[in-house]
A and B are shown apart, each in its own frame.
Chain A
Amino acid sequence: MEDKVRYVARLARIKLTDEEVTLFSRQLDGILGYVDKLNQKLDVQNRTLPMSHPHEASNSFRADEVKPSLPPEKALSNAPQKKGDFFKVPRIIEE
């Protein structure tokens, strides 16, 4: 479980301390053990459709019309770091 927690924490981009890994592993074991009753006690028919949403009916479309954008200074007003009208992040190495 600890390896799995480390793998998942990396996917989720959250750094965990060793203590947190141990704690979360124990807690997740408990929660997953509880959740596993779905698999142990309940035999779900294959024909039961998975439900991703309470209503599966009509979608509301949007007409293809241009609406005003934010002024860049407003778009960037919450940015932790910016340069000019760009959001700034640590350099990304692509090669």
Chain B
Amino acid sequence: MDNLYSLTAGELLSLLDKKSVKPEEIIESVYSRAQSVDKKIKGYIHLDKEKALSQAKGLPASGRLRGIPVAIKDNICVEGELTTCASKILRGFKPPYNATIIEKLKSEGAVIFGKTNMDEFAFGSSCENSSYFPTLNPWDTARIPGGSSGGSAAVVSADEAIMAIGSDTGGSIRQPASLCGVVGMKPTYGRVSRYGLIAFASSLDQIGPLTKNVHDAALLLGVIAGFDSKDSTSVNVPVPDYLSYLKNDVKGMKIGIPKEYFVAGMDKEVEAAVKEAIALLKGKGAQIVEVTLPHTEYAVAVYYIIATAEASSNLARFDGVQYGYRCEDPANLLDMYERTREEGFGAEAKRRIILGTYVLSSGYYDAYYLKAQKVRTLIKNDFEQVFKSGCDCILTPTSPTPAFKVGERSSDPLSMYLSDIFTISVNLAGVPALSIPCGYTKGGLPVGMQLIGDFFKEEELFRAAYTYECGTDWHKRSPEL
């Protein structure tokens, strides 16, 4: 069968079920697609067809993802496979263990299919901060795919992967999903085990799916979610059958529209697309109400204090002793540390480590870190208020603009940080959120909207997103490559 690569996981699973295709054929198809288009996109860092095929030979007898190739962001540990966070400092690193989600994927029959490009250590919103090469947007290769899970979003968008795994600390799944026209979800903090995810900011990071449609996102989250005894921050809440919530019905659902997210200066086409989506859901019976998240304007500031502080400590271990890069001929111990980290880290990583070290350093802790933690409480309270008032979810744009041009923001870190203005609060609060395509600009660039839910209520987001998807065909469009 031709064009297997262009199908969704749901479609492929029913073909596999009927025995009309074999897992090897799917791998061959997706691999040859990647061979032909990844030269332009550069979404993969490591991709080995033989390794994928050999996994297909040893699949379990059954499994929710049996025979489906899944691309993995390069900050998730796969035993014996290169895992580098797109950083020079981890060049050649092969972890002696699997991330918990890799074990879960394998036990459900998924085929681990390549490692995708990212901003180094997930520091960025454009995938330009990779130490290998930038990934480009399949809808316009002069533009960035978003980040930091830009590789995962781009390969799904370009049909070089059936589904992909990303990680989201401040929008790193949702923003690239939005910019590449795919579905991406950041689950509730604690919903998915972080064991084996190379940490950026431990209290914000979550692993989540990037897929071609809502069904696949629900399917993939169902596989990777759940309590893990190896991760004290994962929460022991039962995982519902997300697929059973995929009903074309939002009657009686109360959707909050936060006024702080529709402000002067936002991209007109983005605003129009999101407003149309609101109208569609209203037409399907959802109740639309205006809500307020009053501390939104502080979110980016709070985020860049907390996230960099945690990152500065999480990245201390990259010191050239147990693994990774070490500078040549160090004169002494201090020299080894300083040059290893100078040579091993890219500019954005250095900038964030220095900012994070600064806000934790003696004399500044209270003014920055402690203050940020307090405002984080206020931001979380904002969300709790909205959900307490009866809202089932909150709807916002995912990104204030469509994909921007390569190089456009790379010299101004602050403007880059502001790309995440609509996604960051969600991580600070810990609630789940999903991005789904909701239109295209006149120039043909995808626009995404974000649905935010209450703690551990991912199923509500799937239901709303699925209903919306049933009323549109955005998800059926593919970039011409």
Residues of A participating in the B interface, judged by any CB pair closer than 8 Å: 4-5, 7-9, 11-16, 20, 24, 27-28, 30-32, 34-35, 37-39, 42, 44, 48-55, 57-60, 62, 70, 74-75, 77-81, 87, 89-93
Contact = CB atoms under 8 A, between A and B. Distances in A.
Interface in B313-359: 316, 319-326, 330-339, 341-342, 345, 347, 350-351, 353-355, 357-358
Nearest to B94: A78
Interface of B: 92-94, 96, 189-190, 203, 227, 229, 232-236, 295, 297-298, 300-302, 304-305, 312, 316, 319-326, 330-339, 341-342, 345, 347, 350-351, 353-355, 357-358, 361, 367-368, 370-378, 380, 413-414, 417, 429-430
Given A55-B189, A55-B235, A60-B236, A75 B96 contact: yes
A70 B316 CA distance: 23
Given A16-B342, A38-B302, A49 B377 contact: yes
B355 A28 contact: yes
16 contacts: A8-B358, A9-B357, A14-B342, A15-B338, A15-B339, A28-B351, A31-B413, A34-B301, A37-B298, A38-B372, A50-B376, A52-B373, A54-B430, A60-B229, A79-B323, A80-B324
A34 B414 CA distance: 9
Contacts of A15: 338-339, 341-342
Contacts of A11: 357, 361
Could you tell me the dominant secondary structure of chain B's interface residues? Answer: helix
A76 to B, nearest CB: 8
Contacts of A37: 297-298, 301
Given A31-B355, A51-B380, A59-B232, 14 more contacts: A8-B357, A12-B357, A13-B338, A20-B350, A30-B413, A32-B358, A38-B305, A50-B370, A51-B373, A54-B430, A55-B430, A60-B229, A79-B322, A90-B335
A79 to B, nearest CB: 6
A46 B433 CA distance: 31
A44 B341 contact: no
Contacts, number: 159
A14 B356 CA distance: 13
A14 B344 CA distance: 10
Nearest to B370: A50
Nearest to A77: B96
Given A44-B371, A81-B326, A35 B305 contact: yes
Contact of B354 (A12, A75, A81, A93): A12
Contacts of A20: 347, 350
A47 B119 CA distance: 38
Given A74-B96, A78-B324, A81-B326, A44 B232 contact: no
B322 A50 contact: no
A9 B263 CA distance: 38
A92 B350 CA distance: 26
Contacts of B93: 78
Given A8-B354, A8-B357, A55-B190, A87 B322 contact: yes
Contact of A14 (B305, B350, B372, B373): B350
A14 B371 contact: no
Contacts of B229: 60, 62
B338 A80 contact: no
B94 A90 contact: no
Contacts of A93: 332
A87 to B, nearest CB: 6
Nearest to A60: B232
Nearest to B206: A54
B96 A80 contact: no
Contacts of A70: 96
Contacts of A31: 304, 355, 413-414, 417
A44 B375 CA distance: 7
Contacts of A7: 361
A59 B229 CA distance: 10
A49 B374 contact: yes
Nearest to B356: A12
Contact of A38 (B189, B325, B330, B375): B375
Interface centre among A34, A38, A57 (most CB of B within 10 A): A38
Interface centre among A55, A59, A62 (most CB of B within 10 A): A55
Nearest to B369: A50
A34 to B, nearest CB: 6
A27 B321 CA distance: 31
Nearest to A76: B322
B414 to A, nearest CB: 5
A87 B326 CA distance: 13
A61 B424 CA distance: 31
Task: Give the 3 A-B CB pairs with smallest separation, nearest first.
Answer: A54-B430, A50-B373, A78-B323
Contacts of B339: 15
Contacts of B322: 78-79, 87
